[in-house]
């Protein structure tokens, strides 16, 4: 069954509630008169509310309308980003440096709008101390609370303990923030380069002045009216 609206002579009703091309309300008119107005203005008569009584029809350029609608759909698909689930594995006896490194990766993933599945792998007798794994996961969740939240609470899964962190910002918002950060860094870099060029130009000017003074001969300071 077609979802396309009826247009022009496919509209089989005696009268319509007509809307002008700029959204102005024309009123209830015979469909023949509406078709005549459409032809006079080189537009189409498009039925936009077929279930109304009488149906609502609008004067528009239907080809242009369809093109713009399709363009909006393409743009929406282009801007749509699916959330990706990253994974980070930890050991129960992780040292401070390794913990900070992996926490940094988790923060980077969350800032990019991705979920992160944290896995603690237990070895040997460590399996009898699940509370230590719980403490480590809770510590990590608190450390990255600015960027993510606990979406799936820690749970034991065989020799592993799992927790899922969700980003506080959506993927699209994260992309906007990343673009803003890139633009800010580029602006700062350009400003720094301009300042460096200005400093170099000033330094060259100072060297030129000093060099010019050094080139003066002994007669440069003598009175030109004195006969030698």
Q: Where are the domains of the chain?
A: 8-62, 85-171
Read off the DSSP letter of residue 88: E
What is the token pair recorded at 225?
């009216």
State residue 224's pLDDT score: 52
State residue 136's pLDDT score: 94
Could you tell me where the DSSP H helices lie in 50-129? 62-79, 96-111
**CATH number listed for the domain at residues 85-171:** 3.30.110.10
Mean pLDDT by 10 residues, the chain (228 residues): 81 94 92 94 93 93 89 73 81 92 94 92 88 93 93 90 90 63 77 83 76 59 52
**CATH 3.10.20.80 is right for the domain spanning 8-62:** yes
State residue 78's pLDDT score: 66
State residue 228's pLDDT score: 47
φ, ψ of residue 115 in degrees (nearest 5): -80, 160
Contact 48, 65 (CB under 8 A): no
Cα 167 to Cα 92, 141, 149, distances in angstroms: 24, 12, 7
**pLDDT tens, position by position, 128-186:** 889 999 999 999 999 999 999 999 999 988 889 999 999 987 765 656 666 667 777 78
State residue 204's pLDDT score: 80
């Amino acid at each position: 069954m077609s979802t396309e609206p009826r247009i022009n002579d496919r509209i089989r009703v005696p009268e319509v509630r007509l809307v002008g091309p700029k959204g102005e309300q024309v009123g209830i008119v015979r469909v023949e008169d509406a078709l005549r107005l459409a032809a006079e203005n080189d537009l189409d008569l498009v039925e936009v509310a077929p279930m109304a009584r009488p149906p609502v029809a609008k004067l528009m350029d239907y080809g242009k309308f369809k093109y713009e609608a399709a363009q909006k759909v393409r743009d929406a698909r282009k801007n749509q980003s699916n959330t990706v689930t990253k994974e980070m594995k930890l050991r129960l006896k992780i040292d401070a440096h390794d913990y900070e490194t992996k926490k940094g990766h988790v923060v980077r993933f969350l800032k990019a709008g991705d979920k992160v599945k944290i896995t603690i792998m237990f070895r040997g007798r460590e399996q009898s101390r699940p509370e230590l794994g719980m403490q480590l996961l809770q510590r990590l969740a608190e450390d990255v609370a600015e960027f993510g939240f606990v979406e799936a609470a820690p749970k034991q899964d065989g020799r592993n303990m799992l927790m899922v962190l969700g980003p506080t910002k959506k993927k699209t918002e994260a992309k906007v923030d990343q673009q803003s950060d890139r633009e800010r860094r580029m602006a700062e870099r350009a400003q720094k380069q301009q300042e460096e060029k200005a400093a170099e130009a000033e330094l060259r000017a100072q060297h030129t002045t000093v060099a010019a003074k050094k080139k003066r001969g002994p007669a440069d300071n003598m009175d030109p009216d004195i006969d030698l």
